[in-house]
Structure 1
Amino acid sequence: MASGSLIDKTLNFDGTATPLKIVLFILICLAWLLPGLTGHTPWKYDEAVSQGIIHGMLRGGSWLSPTLAGEPYLAHPPLYYWLGAILVRFSFHLVPPHDAARLASGLFMVGTFAGIALAARHLYGPRTLRLAILIFIGSVGLVIRAHEMSTDLSWLTGVSWVVAALPMGRTQTVRGGLMGGIGFGMAFLSQGTLAFPLLLPLLILAPALIHEFRPPQAGRFTLFWAIGAIPFLVIWPTLLALDHPATYVLWKPLLFGPFLHPETWLVADASPLYYLVVSSWFAWPAAPLALGVLWTGGKRTWEKPQTRFLLLMLGLWLLVLGLCTSPREGNALPLLLPFTLLATGGLDGLRRGATSALDWFGMLTFGLLTTLLWLGWIAQMTGWPVGIIHYLDAQLPDFHTHFQALPFAFSLFLTLLWAFTIFHSHPSPRRALINWSVGMTVSWMLVMSLWLPYVEASRSYEGVMLSLGKALPHSHGCIMSTGLGEPQRGLLDDTLDLHTERRELDPSVQCSLWLVQSNGQNAFLVPKGWHLRWSAERPGDRNERFLLLTRSAR
């Protein structure tokens, strides 16, 4: 391996690069990225919490100390919320605040695309940029989460930049160091100290164990890494300590406690095998493609420095996530990166039978899904087939929709274009991947066009919040609450500017109004001295019920 670039010049890539393919690639990325970023209210869980925090920042709250419904929010540092609040402030009311804030997710995903493309470029060569992104956006576990307001997306961007910086440092010491440092800082300001056990071991072990990943100017690379990272690591905690000392006291054990007490890295509800199991579907088809590359590539593939680097990354991250995080699908997002890059380097060398199987599986899967989406929409418009109507009514009672010409025309055009693409593409390893990614994109766009009213009605809290607003007296004074979750408290603040006095924090609080969120499994019994003023639940939601109680007149 040469002392500079890591690129393996023996790789054979299928097909030729043309301007038309580049244009089509950009259209696929935009078609995958844009639908779902606007056009609906905040959904549970992360969206409602994020919008509540952003609303608090814009309504006079501190930008250094995130709050949710007036209370300090300590789960995540504020990077994502900062960008969301900036976008709302500079939207000039052209779109609703939650739509403007959600555009932050789109920007962070573009940043992640750049990280993946650069990583593929410096690992395998310029012919793999588009291939890596197509594999990435085809991942089953990514499509919904990439369109939600969530700190997971700024975290993913930072992690992808760190991954790209390590091979980049071989030929571009300054750029690689700065990119890695900034990426590390972004990861820290998104998920806090988890960035250290996830990323620092990779930074140390990759050059130590794989000599091809040792930067020719290691000292200079490390210096510029520090220059990129230190502002993120120092400025926010310092300003927080100076301006909000009381809140800093709450943050301090979260930011510094794990270094003083290493045993706190291990979480009580850790599940070491959880992320390995989740990856079997969350990272589909990147994970099976990566396994196929390793299986068919033989000794030559296993001996490549790129393969050893990505396997080291995958093994470290499975270990760290499995021991240091609670089982949660969103935490698995970084695992998409090594799976994607492993598949990228060997996709064109896979056996024709394997890629043909993926091609047929993708066409059948998304063909069936597209057919079901159209049948369900036709049923809503015409009342036939009756069986589908009965099923939809059982899931979302009393839902009614109406014909919208523009979404219909757009969806029909996409479906026909996808069918045309399938029947006029030439068999090749990349065709299987393109058909899968395009099928995923078309299905997502159908959901976000034909089915958006149904999804919005099933996941939105807007109707409940507006109904509660009408039920509240004009001069209601304080309102105490029981059982309200973080999403509900965030939406109460965002929709009604309402902060409740939580009885979980102060059982002695006394107000004339009492807002209760009860579990549908356990009905809430109105206590003596109170009577029910209002109650509601989301359509089709059997798990949550909201009740507003007022003191009985003596």
Structure 2
Amino acid sequence: MKPVRLAAAATLALPRWAIFGLGLLYILPGLIGRDLWKDDAASFGIMWTMAHGSVSDWLLPNVAGLPLADEGPLAFWLGAICIKLFGWLLGDVMAARVSTIGIFVLGALSVWYTAFHLGRRPDAQPLRLAFGGQPEPDDYGRTLADTALLIYLGCLGLLLNSHETLAVTLQGSLLAFFLYRSVRYVEAPSLGNAGLIGLALGALTLTRGWLPPCTLALALFLCTRFLDLPAARTLRDLGCAALVALLIALLWIVPAATLRPYGLSPVDSWMAWNVSQIGLPSLHSLKAFFKVGIWFFWPAWPFAIWAIYAWRRQRRLLHIVLPLSFAGALTLLILCDPAPESGDLLKLLPPLAIMAAFGLPAMKRGTINAIDWFSVMVLTMIACGLWLWWWATLTGWPAQLAKNAARQSPGFDAEFGVIAFLVAAAATIGWFVLVHWRISRQPAVLWRAVVLSSGGLILFWILLMTLLLPQFNYSKSYNHVAQQIAAKLPEGGACILTNVGPAQRASFAFYGGLTFAGFGAEQCNLLLLQDSMDLRDDGEIAQAFRGKQWALLWEGRRPSDPDERFRLYRRVK
């Protein structure tokens, strides 16, 4: 027997304007007015170098002459194209983030349409009521799609990564698109749908290598065997998809391997990086997965687990089999990574959010109310805490909180921003209106259990990116350091040798206009060193940067980082 019994009144869809407004409130804060932070400065640096460089820079991703061809070029191509198109109007940083908006839209739409098509299938429908009144398939599908999208937007992992110009962000959205195309293929097997699957696999290959696409293709084939699709036709169609994916990947591989930009082979570096991503599962990767995943996938994972349990007695259910297979295969791939990164977990969010949407209708009303109250209390307390922190930085009261804020960002001088305050105040008022609606009306709609979680998380992000954004820019950006270094450079600039990392190199090149030594053996008269404040001598500095021929011109660091130090030298011999 199906675990869901639902009346038509519970399938009232969210208004389209509400979904669009929610999406804008989610993605725009954190893109507008934010400086380059260390987390995504390197990725922007690759896009910026491409947009203002030559064909070689498009074939060999690099940050002002520092090769970074490991992941693949697609995410950086998109950002560079946006800089070319919109940089004159929005500035290079915001223009690159236009690609981030497009990537977010692709992921959100893919999650919505995947849940919609799965939700209107006959095997996903709730039990028919004795006297009628059950929802229509399309209405039920739209409600599940709205629910899946709210869960997807409510996940903490997506919030932390969807506002950054990273390859893993594009990978997560492409995975959602692949999941959607897989559902459409199972519903209507054809070479056309197989070709679109190949498009997703090829884009994934150019984004973060060939391991995830190979894993997904194998998982899809196993799903079709479990669902009793004809094996011969499936092999033919997946072979067509693999061919399309290969042709897309060759669009970069062939010219990069043939032309060898700057005398280097980006394809060799890319292949070596791919091979380094696979190994045997270890206790370290297992601990890292659960330690990060327990909050990264919240609140999707409890609902997804309940969906698997609630539908356990039904067989060959596409809305459980397909996302569960993809989630299981990708989890195994992550566990086999010798050095897993938290951003890799984005691949799991679309299948988990979709499964979670099918677990929600089977939950008891008391559990749903408990989730609501938890969301209201916790998120309201966090919002009040953020307002109090902002007030303390502005006025110095409460004294202890102001002291803690000053310790986090030494030297930061807070100023009152009218626009930021009005946006934050409007978002806070909207939150209390939403809470009042949920508590006073007691709506029966299915998505009531997650609308507060998603709304509260969006409020949290808006407050961070309005009230506290100046403090974050001060502590996380290298803008001020870049300006200090640029002030010490000779007239007309000069070539600089350096050991700084990709994020710092990108920030200094963009904000300070610094010209670093590129791929050739250039004779530079300036040297910029990055090391630790704990370093007492130059014994730990690379041999190439040692010697008495260097005279110190400047020394500094970000006030918020007590360990990192930069020193600028001039050649005297």
Is TM (by shorter chain) over 0.5?
Answer: yes
Identity of aligned pairs, percent? 27
Change (3 A) 1:299 1:149: closer
- Please report how far the alpha carbon of residue 534 of structure 1 lies from its aligned counterpart in structure 2 after TM superposition: 0.8
Task: Judge which range, 152-161 or 387-396, deviates more.
Answer: 152-161
TM-aligned CA distance change 1:20 to 1:120, over 3 Å? closer
Q: Identify if the C-alpha distance between structure 1 residues 453 and 203 changes in structure 2 by more than 3 Å, giving closer, same or farther.
A: same
In the alignment, which of 258, 281, 299 is matched to residue 285 of structure 1?
299
Residue type at the aligned position of 2:290 = L
1:274 paired with 2:285, answer no
* TM-score between both structures, scaled by the size of structure 1: 0.88
User: Deviation at 1:101?
Assistant: 0.2
Deviations 1:503-554 (A, max 9, x none): xx99x9875432111123434559755443111211211121111123568x
Query: C-alpha distance in 2, partners of 1:156/1:376?
Result: 33
| Structure 2 CA distance for partners of 1:91 and 1:74, relative to 1, 3 Å | same
Aligned pairs for 1:302-313 within 5 A = 304-313=317-326
* Alignment partner, residue 44 of structure 1: 38
Which residue in 1 is equivalent to 2:208?
A: 191
Provide the residue aligned with 2:405 in structure 1.
392
User: Does structure 2 retain, via aligned residues, the 8 Å contact 1:518–1:524?
Assistant: no
Comparing 379-388 and 360-369, the one that deviates more: 379-388
> Are the equivalent residues in 2 in contact too, given 1:411–1:449 (CA < 8 A)?
yes
Alignment counterpart, residue 554 of structure 2, candidates 529, 534, 545: 534
Q: Which of 335, 346, 350 pairs up with 1:337?
A: 350
Secondary structure in 2 matching 1:424: helix
d(CA) in 2 for partners of 1:247, 1:286:
47
- What is the CA distance between 1:24 and its match in structure 2? 1.5
Q: Does 1:326 align with 2:346?
A: no
Bigger shift: residues 413-422 or 199-208: 199-208
Structure 2: runs of 5 or more not aligned: 121-140, 539-545
Q: Specify which of 79, 85, 91 is matched with residue 84 of structure 1.
A: 79
State the distance in 2 between where 1:446 and 1:13 align: 38
Equivalent of residue 116 in structure 1, options 102, 111, 116:
111
Q: 1:253 to 1:90 in 2, by over 3 A?
A: closer
Q: Which residue of 1 aligns with 2:218?
A: 201
Larger relative contact order (CA 8 Å, sep ≥ 6): 2
Contact 1:359 1:435 in 2 (8 A): yes
Contact 1:215–1:221 (8 Å) recurs in 2: no
Quick check: 1:28 aligned with 2:22? Answer: yes
Q: 1:498 to 1:293 in 2, by over 3 A?
A: same
Letter paired with 2:47: I
Return the alpha-carbon distance in structure 2 between the equivalents of residues 14 and 462 of structure 1.
55
The two structures, once aligned, show a CA RMSD in angstroms of 3.1
Check the 8 A contact 2:526/2:568 in 1, yes or no. yes
| Paired AA for residue 312 in structure 1 | S
The equivalences for 1:64-213 within 5 A come to 64-125=59-120, 126-127=141-142, 128-174=144-190, 176-211=193-228
Partner Cα distance (2:315, 2:432) in 1? 38
Name which of structure 1's ranges 72-81 and 488-497 shifts more when overlaid on structure 2: 488-497
Structure 1 residue 366: Cα displacement: 0.9
User: Quick one: which amino acid aligns to residue 240 of structure 1?
Assistant: A
Matched residues, number? 537
TM-score of the aligned structures, taking structure 2 as reference length = 0.85
Residue in 2 aligned with 1:294? 308
Of residues 442, 453, 472 in structure 2, which corresponds to 1:436?
453
Deviations 1:101-157 (A, max 9, x none): 012111111111122122212322322211111101100111121001101121112
**Counterpart selection for 2:381 from 368, 376, 383:** 368
Looking at structure 2, the residues matched to 167 and 447 of structure 1 have their Cα atoms a distance apart, in angstroms, of 37
Give the 3-state SS of the residue equivalent to 1:473 in structure 2: coil
Structural mapping, 1:214-229, within 5 Å: 218=234, 221-222=237-238, 225-226=241-242, 228-229=244-245
CA contact (8 A) 1:72 1:247 kept: no
Partner SS, residue 86 of structure 2: coil
Local SS of the residue matching 1:54: helix
Aligned to 1:533, the other structure's residue is in SS state strand
> Are 2:52 and 1:59 aligned?
yes
SS at 2:336 equivalent = helix
In structure 2, how many angstroms separate the alpha carbons of the residues matched to 1:256 and 1:518?
A: 28
SS at match of 1:142: helix
Kindly provide the CA deviation profile for residues 425-456 of structure 1, in whole angstroms up to 9, marking residues without a partner as x: 22555222000000001111111111111111
